[in-house]
Amino acid sequence: MTDHNDDMLEDIFAQARAVASTPSDDLMARVLAGAVPPTPPVISAPPTSVGKRLLDMLGGWPAVSGLVTATFAGVWIGVAPPASIQDYTAAYFGDEVSVSIFNDDAVFATGDLTDG
């Protein structure tokens, strides 16, 4: 039974080899008519605004957000330093100097708003 199947397969393969493998001109014309020509790559224009160029130069939004966070932390520590930093600066520089940003006559200096 396998010899008969093998002979049949060999006959089918021989017939397939005998057929010309080149497509007809009509088929090639239809395929090429439906083909889309390749489009050239789109080259984007460089950023024109100064803010966009500065943002790109700094590294984008993640880098800028880190810089803003570090700036706010530095301002916060500069305005209201912890006691350990005041002790360190007093020991390192000598005398501690305290500067009030409010006038003595201001409501904030008297503590009226914070006493409850």
Task: Compute how many other C-beta atoms are within 10 angstroms of the C-beta atom of residue 55.
Answer: 15
- pLDDT, position 111: 56
Can you give the pLDDT at residue 59? 92
What is the per-residue pLDDT for 112? Answer: 55
Q: Indicate the length of the chain as a whole number.
A: 116
pLDDT at 71: 95
C-beta of residue 9 within 8 angstroms of C-beta of residue 16: no
Q: How far is CA 11 from CA 2, 4, 16, 20, in A?
A: 14, 11, 9, 16
pLDDT at 48: 75
Alpha-carbon gap, residue 70 to 58, rounded angstroms? 14
Residues of the chain with pLDDT under 50: 115-116
